[in-house]
Amino acid sequence: MGAVLDDLLVLDLTIARAGPTAVRYLADWGATVLRIEQVGGSGSIVGDHDSSDYINLHRSKALIGLNLRDDADRNRFLRLVEHADIVVENNRAPVKASLGIDYATLAVINPRLIYGSISGYGQTGPASDKGAVDQIIQGVAGMMSITGQPGEGPMRAGIAVSDMAAGHQLAIGILLALRERDRSGLGQWVQVSLLEAMLTFLDFQAVRWTIDGKVPPQEGNHHPTGRPMGAYRAADGFLNIAAPAGRLWTRLCEVLGEPDLSTDDRFASAADRYHHRRELDAELERRFAAAPRAEWIARLDAVGVPCGPINDVAEAFADPQVQHLAMTRRIPHANRGEVDVLRDPITMSRSQPVTPSASPVPGRPTDEVLADLGITPLT
Positive/negative CA dihedral, 173, 174, 177, 182:
negative
Catalytic residue among 168, 223, 275, 333: 223
The four Cα atoms 26, 29, 31, 34 give a dihedral, to 10 degrees, of 60
Q: How far apart are CA 286 and CA 205, in angstroms?
A: 30
Q: How far apart are CA 112 and CA 301, in angstroms?
A: 53
Which contiguous run of DSSP H or E holds residue 46? none
b/e 337-367 (16+ beta carbons within 10 angstroms → b): eebebebbeeeeeeebbbebbbbbeeeeebe
Longest dimension (CA), the chain: 82
Q: How far apart are CA 30 and CA 9, in angstroms?
A: 10
Q: Name the 3-class secondary structure at 139.
A: helix
The Cα-based distances of 46 to 21, 58, 192, 282 in angstroms read 12, 10, 21, 42
CB of 179 within 8 A of CB of 104?
A: no
User: Is 223 an annotated catalytic residue?
Assistant: yes
Nearest Cα residue to 258 out of 297, 228, 284: 284
The Cβ of residue 206 has, within 10 Å, a number of other Cβ atoms equal to 17
CA angle 125, 126, 131 (to 5 degrees): 95
- Positions annotated as catalytic residues are 223
